[in-house]
Structure 1
Amino acid sequence: MTNVLVATLNLYHFAAPGIFWHARKPTATYSQAEWDAKKNWIITLLSEMNADVIGLQEVVSQDELKALLAANGYPYFYCPVAPAFDADDPEIYVNATVAIASRYPFISAEPLSGVAGVPQDTVIDEDFRFSRTPVDAVIDLPGIGQTRFFVCHFKSQGAFVDDEIIDGLADWGDKIRTTYMERAMAGVNQVAKRAAEAGAIYRMFRQSIDADADAPVILLGDLNEDPASHTISILTQADRVWSWGSVAANGIPDPFAFLKHVYKLYDAFNLVPMQGFVRPNTHGGVGSGSTLDYVVVSNGLNPKNPRRRGEVAKVEVYDDHFAAGLPKDRSSDHAPVIATIKSVGG
Structure 2
Amino acid sequence: MAQKHTYKFASFNLLNFAAPPYSFYQLDESYNDTQWLTKTQFITGLIQHMDPSVIVFQEVFSPETLATLCEDLGLPYFATVDTPKPDLVYPNVLFNPIVAIASKFPFKSFTPLEPCPELLEYLNNQHQFKFNRTPIKCSFELPGFGLTTVYAVHFKSQRVHSMAHMLGNASVEDPLLTLLHQTVGTMQSQISRSLEASIVYYDALKTQREKGAATLVMGDFNDHIASPALSFMTQQFPTSAMHQDVNSVGLFDSFCLADNQLSFGQKPPTHYYQGTGNTLDYILASKKFNPNLEQSKVRRLTYHNYASHLDPNRDEEDIRYSDHAAIAIEMILQ
TM-score, normalised to structure 2's length?
A: 0.88
Q: Are residues 1:338 and 2:321 paired?
A: no
Q: Are residues 1:207 and 2:195 paired?
A: no
Q: Does the Cα contact within 8 Å between 1:132 and 1:152 map onto a contact in 2?
A: yes
Secondary structure at the aligned position of 2:21 is classed as coil
Q: Are residues 1:268 and 2:269 paired?
A: no
Secondary structure at the aligned position of 1:338 is classed as strand
Q: Does the Cα contact within 8 Å between 1:4 and 1:142 map onto a contact in 2?
A: no
Q: What is the CA distance between 1:168 and its match in structure 2?
A: 4.0
Q: Deviations over 1:192-230 (max 9, x none)?
A: 1110111111111122222245x2111111011113212
Separation in structure 2 between the aligned mates of residue 117 and residue 151 of structure 1, nearest angstrom: 23
| Structure 1 residues 4 and 286: alpha-carbon distance in aligned structure 2, compared to 1, 3 A threshold | farther
Q: Deviations over 1:86-138 (max 9, x none)?
A: 33332222210000000011111121133463311113343222110111111
Q: Are residues 1:230 and 2:228 paired?
A: yes
Separation in structure 1 between the aligned mates of residue 215 and residue 73 of structure 2, nearest angstrom: 26
2:74 aligns to what?
Answer: 73
Q: Does the Cα contact within 8 Å between 1:139 and 1:148 map onto a contact in 2?
A: yes
Separation in structure 2 between the aligned mates of residue 126 and residue 167 of structure 1, nearest angstrom: 25
Aligned letter for 1:230?
P
Q: Which residue among 9, 28, 41 is the counterpart of 2:12?
A: 9
Aligned letter for 1:288?
T
Separation in structure 2 between the aligned mates of residue 9 and residue 46 of structure 1, nearest angstrom: 9
Secondary structure at the aligned position of 2:93 is classed as strand
Q: Which moved more, 1:82-91 or 1:161-170?
A: 161-170
Separation in structure 2 between the aligned mates of residue 133 and residue 99 of structure 1, nearest angstrom: 10
Q: Are residues 1:277 and 2:265 paired?
A: yes
Separation in structure 2 between the aligned mates of residue 19 and residue 183 of structure 1, nearest angstrom: 33
Aligned letter for 2:62?
S
Instruction: Spell out the pairing of 1:149-188 with structure 2 (5 A cutoff).
Output: 149-161=150-162, 168-169=169-170, 175-181=174-180, 184-188=183-187
| Structure 1 residues 128 and 307: alpha-carbon distance in aligned structure 2, compared to 1, 3 A threshold | farther
Separation in structure 2 between the aligned mates of residue 163 and residue 332 of structure 1, nearest angstrom: 31
| Structure 1 residues 95 and 147: alpha-carbon distance in aligned structure 2, compared to 1, 3 A threshold | same
| Structure 1 residues 52 and 154: alpha-carbon distance in aligned structure 2, compared to 1, 3 A threshold | same
Q: What is the CA distance between 1:324 and its match in structure 2?
A: 10
1:189 aligns to what?
Answer: 188
Aligned letter for 1:333?
D
Separation in structure 1 between the aligned mates of residue 305 and residue 286 of structure 2, nearest angstrom: 20
Q: What is the CA distance between 1:68 and its match in structure 2?
A: 0.8
Q: What is the CA distance between 1:64 and its match in structure 2?
A: 0.6
Q: How large is the Cα RMSD of the aligned pairs?
A: 2.8
Q: Which moved more, 1:64-73 or 1:274-283?
A: 274-283
Q: What is the CA distance between 1:188 and its match in structure 2?
A: 2.6
Q: What is the CA distance between 1:279 and its match in structure 2?
A: 1.2
Q: Deviations over 1:302-331 (max 9, x none)?
A: 223324444661011011112599973111
Secondary structure at the aligned position of 1:202 is classed as helix
2:103 aligns to what?
Answer: 102
Q: Does the Cα contact within 8 Å between 1:124 and 1:196 map onto a contact in 2?
A: no
1:245 aligns to what?
Answer: none
Separation in structure 2 between the aligned mates of residue 319 and residue 200 of structure 1, nearest angstrom: 30
Separation in structure 2 between the aligned mates of residue 91 and residue 260 of structure 1, nearest angstrom: 49
| Structure 1 residues 312 and 80: alpha-carbon distance in aligned structure 2, compared to 1, 3 A threshold | farther
Q: Does the Cα contact within 8 Å between 2:274 and 2:313 map onto a contact in 1?
A: no
Gaps spanning 5+ residues in structure 1: where?
Answer: 242-248
Aligned letter for 2:74?
G
Q: Does the Cα contact within 8 Å between 2:138 and 2:149 map onto a contact in 1?
A: yes
Separation in structure 2 between the aligned mates of residue 189 and residue 70 of structure 1, nearest angstrom: 39
Q: Are residues 1:290 and 2:278 paired?
A: yes
1:136 aligns to what?
Answer: 137
Q: Does the Cα contact within 8 Å between 1:166 and 1:179 map onto a contact in 2?
A: no
2:319 aligns to what?
Answer: 329
Q: Does the Cα contact within 8 Å between 1:236 and 1:267 map onto a contact in 2?
A: yes
Separation in structure 2 between the aligned mates of residue 336 and residue 322 of structure 1, nearest angstrom: 10
Q: What is the CA distance between 1:179 and its match in structure 2?
A: 4.8
Q: Does the Cα contact within 8 Å between 2:71 and 2:77 map onto a contact in 1?
A: yes
Q: What is the CA distance between 1:140 and its match in structure 2?
A: 1.6
Q: What is the CA distance between 1:39 and its match in structure 2?
A: 0.3
Q: Does the Cα contact within 8 Å between 1:283 and 1:290 map onto a contact in 2?
A: yes
1:256 aligns to what?
Answer: 242
Gaps spanning 5+ residues in structure 2: where?
Answer: none
Aligned letter for 1:284?
Y
Aligned letter for 2:276?
S
Q: Does the Cα contact within 8 Å between 1:161 and 1:183 map onto a contact in 2?
A: no
Matched pairs, number: 327
